[in-house]
Structure 1
Amino acid sequence: MRKLLFTIFLLPLLVMSQESAEYVVFENDLLTPNPTQISQFEKGIAAHNKKYHNDGAHGVRVYWISNGPRTGSYMWVMGPFLWSSMDNGPAQKEGHDADWRDNVSPYLMPGSGFETSYWKFHANLSRFPKNFTIKNMAVNIWDLKRGKYKEATALAKKVHDVYAEKAPNETFGIYTNEFPSTKEGQDMAVISFFEKSAWLGEDHSIAKKYNEMNGAGSWDQFLKDWMEVTNGGVTEIWMYRPDLSGISGDVKAAARQ
């Protein structure tokens, strides 16, 4: 399984100007604390976010990863923001960098905190039909084959259209890596939002819904087509940590209309 340096994306929670030619992105950073200093790390990251990342484009949410080889690491997610807002980022606020250096970095494992990626949010492929509060996320990262970006997004649009027609209350977001690497294989992310863990064991019947809308056997063909454009993927469960975050988990879907 290819290494996932997810610093995504990861969530479309703020409305951006419809008149802007820019698009919405997220910055994600994977943070792995020293296992003997978790309490110090959490105290430092919580204070930092609540002081320097507590509103606007540079607001931050923190997630705890609960499965896979990165279990116990944290995902630090800033945004959504426009690229132009980076020219006036929180690093320019007095004391920001020093606070991170003195109160967060000392409690991280060597090399942690330097794995950063940026993800573009695709509103036309995503479904945010209602307001909700983030609690848990199933994060699926796909490695797209070279030259297959258009085919992959076209297939994702087919799934979007099925949910819009057959399951209008389903909530998910689709994102693509702004600076992908063939070595890392993290090109497209699909995030499903859920409240209770029982959701993971439910049959969401996408195959039945897809066949109803596109004809018998169409779901099997979709799976074949998807395997033709991807090299595989990975799934992680992220749990939102409001105590460590600078902003709440509230998603105002109505603002995106």
Structure 2
Amino acid sequence: MLLVPFLTLSQNSTEYGVFENAILTPNPAQVTQFEKGIAAHNKKYHVNGPYGVRVYWINNGPKTGSYVWVMGPFPWSSLDNRPAQKEGHDADWNTNVAQYTTSESGTQSYWRFQAELSRFPKNFTIKNMEVDYWDVKRGKMAEAKKLVEKVHKVYVDKSPDETYGIYTNEFPSTKEGRDLTIISFFDKSAWLGEDHGFVTKYETVYGKDSWGQFLKDWMAVTDGGETELWIFLPELSGISGAVDVETRN
């Protein structure tokens, strides 16, 4: 989530970067109090390191109007020392954030960054994101990743400046159907309506009519998907949207 994909770990570490995503839906009559509370909370408890937080607003689909609270990236081991009750974290959250949310809030997920499938060729600042969720059929994740590798190669060869991240759900649910996520970062909304010529680029790499075969193969390993558009809200976040690729492991 999402979502900055970089984590500095020691060269000897076997840990990997994970993001914690929480969907928060404020009471429509208390949005102002909610935003004030979550901004203050994040700027007090989530301003750096593995506990740094960014907040996004969803502006399409069934979750329109909800916020996504994204912490990380962090190694799993860091959760043992996260801000908690003794620092006043939990009380502050309950008093200044949770009380202004509805019963629809609380959906939480953990996403693993797939570095070898992602492209972050240069420094950038997060503004808008297209978040594509895919429901991968049971036992087909390895095949799905191989297909993503083919797309990755096209971007490397033909669109080297494109920026996107690939993430997999650490605790997938067959009911929810959100197993693999592709996040594309963009600045201007016009990007959504542009023809990026990807099919032509794909067939230049893999041959005529190869895109049609790719679609058949992709449909064979997935059961559909959905897309959300997220807008980064720096005023509610604990950290900025700046991404420095030099910190990448």
Q: Sort the TM-score into its range (normalised by shorter chain).
A: over 0.9
C-alpha distance in structure 1 between counterparts of 2:158 and 2:149, whole Å: 14
Contact kept, 8 Å, 1:14 with 1:252, in 2: the verdict is no
Instruction: Tell me, yes or no, if structure 1 residue 128 matches structure 2 residue 120.
Output: yes
Aligned with 1:196 (options 165, 188, 202): 188
Name the counterpart of 1:237. 229
CA apart distance, 1:11: 2.3
Question: Which residue does the alignment assign to 2:171?
Answer: 179
211-220 or 41-50, larger mean C-alpha shift: 211-220
Cα deviation 1:125-161 (Å, max 9, x = unaligned): 0000000000000000000011101100000011011
Match of 2:240, SS state, is coil
Counterpart of 1:102 in structure 2 is: 95
CA contact (8 A) 2:7 2:17 kept: no
Contact 1:49 1:245 in 2 (8 A): yes
- Name 1:216's counterpart in structure 2: 208
Corresponding residue number in structure 2 for 1:38 = 31
Matches within 5 A, 1:29-68: 29-68=22-61
Distance in 2 separating the partners of 1:46 and 1:226: 40
Whether the 8 Å CA contact 2:129–2:230 is kept in 1: the answer is yes
1:127–1:171 CA contact under 8 A, matched in 2: yes
What is residue 5 of structure 1 aligned with on the other side?
none
**What is the distance in 1 between the residues matched to 2:85 and 2:160?**
42
Distance 1:22 1:152 in 2: 23
For the aligned residues, what is the CA RMSD?
A: 1.1
The amino acid that maps onto 1:165 is: D
CA distance in 2, matches of 1:255, 1:93: 31
1:140 aligns to what? 132
Instruction: Name the aligned partner's letter for residue 228 of structure 2.
Output: E
Determine the C-alpha separation between the residues in 2 that align with 1:235 and 1:110. 23
Counterpart contact for 1:10–1:119, Cα < 8 Å:
no
Deviations 1:74-127 (A, max 9, x none): 000000000011110112551100000110011001241x21110000000000
Q: Which amino acid aligns with 2:221?
A: V
- In structure 2, the partner of 1:23 is 16
CA distance in structure 1 between the aligned counterparts of 2:242 and 2:86, rounded to whole angstroms:
26
Q: TM-score, normalising length from structure 2?
A: 0.97
Q: In 2, Cα distance between the equivalents of 1:82 and 1:178?
A: 13
**Would the aligned equivalents of 2:55 and 2:67 in 1 still touch at CA under 8 Å?**
yes
Q: Distance in 2 between matches of 1:138 and 1:109?
A: 25
Q: Which residue of 1 aligns with 2:4?
A: 11
Q: Which residue identity is paired with 2:160?
A: P
The answer to whether structure 1 residue 162 and structure 2 residue 122 are counterparts is: no
Q: Does 1:79 align with 2:72?
A: yes
Q: Is the 8 A contact 1:13 1:250 kept in 2?
A: no
Secondary structure in 1 matching 2:234: coil
What is the total number of aligned residue pairs between the two structures? 249
**Alignment gaps of 5+ in structure 2:** none
1:154-179 deviation digits (Å, cap 9, x = unpaired)? 00011011101100000000000000
Of residues 64, 81, 90 in structure 2, which corresponds to 1:88? 81
Q: Using the alignment, how far apart are the partners of 2:33 and 2:98 within structure 1?
A: 11
